[in-house]
Homo-oligomer: A and B are copies of this chain.
Amino acid sequence: MAKAAGFTLGELAAALRATLEGDPSRVVTGVAPLDTAGPDQISFLIDRRYAATARRSRAGAFLVPVDAPGLAAPMLRAEAPQQALIELLSLFHPPIAAQPGVHPMAVVMPGARVDPSASIGPLTVIDTDAVVGARVRVGALVYVGAGVDVGEDSVVHPRAVLYPGVRLGRRVVVQAGAVIGADGFGYVFDGTAHRKIPQVGGVRIEDDVEIGANTTIDRATLGETVVRRGTKIDNLVQIGHNAEIGEHSILVAQVGVSGSSRLGRGVVLAGQVGVADHVTLGDGVMAGAQAGIPSDIVAGEKVLGSPARPAAQARRIWAAETRLPELLRRIRAAERRLQRLEGQLGIPAPAPRPQDEDE
């Protein structure tokens, strides 16, 4: 991102709709973290865990929530400080304007249509009949397959691959190395070998989706693999064929969603979560890191662990597990005490009951 010159605190207060405590004519020239910010920079204290760091900070100003305690430099108090931080960063680092046009070392195949306002980087291939919309930025070394459709204002970073027929909505961001539309993993064992099921479906990525670096989203066997609008997908995530990811969901790094699974709206899967095939997750389901989800989960449920269980239950099990060795000792001690009591009372030890398992 480019870097703008400085702003006065007064200008920033106006832009961020924040209340300034301090000198409005003071100038800051950049944003920096609490520990490295100098007197010319503005920093921010949003997460209370960093309050001590903030008190030691040499920053020239701070962006803080409305109820933050005082600090040793001017403060901009914002109602929604996280969103104000987004504004602040955008002010100092405005997005680089795309240089419209096709780089002379790009390859645009016959039948491809590139909007004149789009920018195509060097050594990028736009294959036959692909359509690249207005103001799209395609980086270097990208492969845009035959018949692909890239919607307006999307950004495709260097070295992404869009297989033939993939459709991207508007304002989609694809990070480097992502592969969208590779064949789904479908085979039938014929007694001798695994025969490939032709993967002839497509992939549709809706508006405002972001896809992380080296993430893979497979094409459908038939029909479409779909990622609905507003969903954000981190790096190294795998999405299987015919999966459907609901709107405004969050898939953190290294998550795997198997074929034909359906995630509702606002689902949050933390890092390294795995979802089995043909599973349905209701709206708002949240799964903790490394959870393994073998079957459907109803809307709003929070799950943890592998196999995934409701979060409260999983936490109770984890707590109890640490006492398992102790539990073994206690049951053995109880058995000895029973034996002693039975001996005292002249009762013979009971015979084992094989059906105990089923109780």
Chain A residues packing against B (C-beta within 8 Å): 1, 31-33, 36, 49, 80, 82-83, 85-86, 89-90, 92-93, 103, 105, 107, 109, 121-123, 125, 127, 139-141, 143, 145, 157-159, 161, 163, 173, 175-177, 179, 182-183, 185, 187-190, 193-198, 200, 208, 210, 212-214, 216, 218, 221-223, 230, 232, 234-236, 238, 240, 248, 250, 252-254, 256, 258, 271-272, 274, 276, 278, 289-290, 292, 294, 305-307, 309, 313, 316-325, 327-338, 340-342, 344-345, 347, 350, 352-353, 356-357, 359
Is the beta-carbon distance between A36 and B125 smaller than 8 angstroms?
A: no
**In the bound complex, CA of A292 to CA of B288 (Å):** 10
Is the beta-carbon distance between A333 and B350 smaller than 8 angstroms?
A: yes
**In the bound complex, CA of A2 to CA of B254 (Å):** 33
Closest Cβ of chain B to A215, distance in Å, is 8
Is the beta-carbon distance between B195 and A176 smaller than 8 angstroms?
A: no
Is the beta-carbon distance between B322 and A328 smaller than 8 angstroms?
A: no
Is the beta-carbon distance between A159 and B159 smaller than 8 angstroms?
A: yes
**In the bound complex, CA of A139 to CA of B252 (Å):** 30
Is the beta-carbon distance between B347 and A198 smaller than 8 angstroms?
A: no
Copy tally for this chain in the complex stands at 3
Closest Cβ of chain B to A233, distance in Å, is 9
Chain B residues whose C-beta falls within 8 Å of the C-beta of A335 in the assembled complex: 330, 334
Chain B residues whose C-beta falls within 8 Å of the C-beta of A1 in the assembled complex: 198, 200
Chain B residues whose C-beta falls within 8 Å of the C-beta of A344 in the assembled complex: 345, 347
Is the beta-carbon distance between B332 and A334 smaller than 8 angstroms?
A: no
Q: Known contacts being A290-B306, A359-B332, is A161 close to B176, with CB within 8 Å? A: yes
Which single residue of chain B is at the shortest CB-CB distance from A127? B140
Is the beta-carbon distance between B350 and A342 smaller than 8 angstroms?
A: no
Q: Known contacts being A179-B213, A248-B194, is A331 close to B341, with CB within 8 Å? A: no
Q: Which of B31, B194, B197 contacts A85 (CB 8 A)?
A: B197
Which single residue of chain B is at the shortest CB-CB distance from A93? B200
Is the beta-carbon distance between A222 and B31 smaller than 8 angstroms?
A: yes
Q: Which of B121, B125, B213, B232 contacts A140 (CB 8 A)?
A: B125
